[in-house]
Amino acid sequence: MKRALVTGGAGFVGSNLCRRLLELGYRVICLDNLSTGQMRNIKELSGNRNFCFLQRDVCEPFKAEVDEIYNAACPASPSAYQAEPVRTTRTCVLGAINMLELATATGALMMQFSTSEVYGEPSVHPQSESYRGCVNPIGPRSCYDEGKRCAESLCFDYHRQFGTRIKVIRIFNTYGPGMAPEDGRVVSNFIMQALRGEPLTVYGDGSQTRSFQYIDDLIDGILKVMAGRDDFLGPVNLGNPEEFTMSELAELVLRETGSSSGLVKLPSPPDDPTRRRADISLAASELAGWRPKVHLEEGIRRTIDYFKAFV
């Protein structure tokens, strides 16, 4: 029976990962300080004898005998990570160091959850792993963008210097059940506003794009990366290559909710990327059989059903 540590395990991605690992027969330690994670996400797991929740901060050293480490701890919503930018950077950097120290000491395989935000405002489209990005190092998003870039750097330095076993994934926009209704990301914002009969808030002119990945597809990719070749370290993009404008997403949400809400347009936030699309050529070649399966329309329907409980 494999033992896994999931930091940020009460968050959106972390809780879905904990659930899948338990289904696969793992023993799972879920570590979360609950700054953005929610106990409701893991409530159903608490009765499983192979699940252990610890309310701890990843910025503090942690010791455990584990085989795999999934470092997902960090606020991912701009409103959350910009509210406490210093804490966000500390979580990215100190959290990575502490998990890398644990991996080095135990021989565990450590996966760093990075982000498509390392590409910044891209001059290359779609974004492949070879693109080094264009990030504003002193902007309001830099605590997250640069924090994740530093965490990637630490992973490869630990690997080169100490032989630490690592994997690095870059996650593109992901949505689905387990998202916090108030987290401030576009999918949750649009759905909650539509269900409440409020105008949907579109920043800018609505032409900016994102590629949206359903949570189940992401979890499938995570597990395939972890089970892949030891010498395939990444970074590797995990996302859905289908690209949609914010206006198209708003129209889809209104149609699927049956809402008569209108749109209200506000100025774009600073450093908000205008285009984002995952190039998953590397993942498709390295991860046998992996490719996103859930189309946006179907995924939005499932997510709407989940959010109805919060209205």
Q: CB–CB of 232/286 below 8 Å?
A: yes
How far apart are the C-alpha atoms of 115 and 176, rounded to whole Å? 17
DSSP assignment string, 68-134:
EEEE--S--SHHHHHHSHHHHHHHHHHHHHHHHHHHHHHT-EEEEEEEGGGGBS-SSSSB-TT---B
Residue linked to tokens 């059903």:
305
CA-CA distances (angstroms) from residue 247 to 33, 182, 206, 253, 269? 35, 20, 5, 10, 16
Closest CA to 134 of 143, 126, 146: 146
SS3 at position 254: helix
Cβ neighbors of 87 (< 8 A, separation 6 or more) are 35
CA separation, residue 193 to residues 6, 119, 181, 309, 310 (Å): 32, 29, 10, 14, 11
Provide the token pair at 238: 């995990």
Among 119, 144, 158, 175, the active-site one is: 144
Do strands 244-245 and 68-71 pair parallel, antiparallel, or not at all (unpaired)?
A: unpaired
What angle is formed at CA 275 by the lines to CA 270 and CA 276, rounded to 5 degrees?
110
Structure tokens belonging to residue 281: 């050529």
297 membership: H or E segment, kind and range? helix 296-307
- In the residue annotation, 144 being an active-site residue is answered as yes
Angle CA(67)–CA(68)–CA(69) in degrees, nearest 5?
Answer: 135
Q: Which residues are catalytic?
A: 144
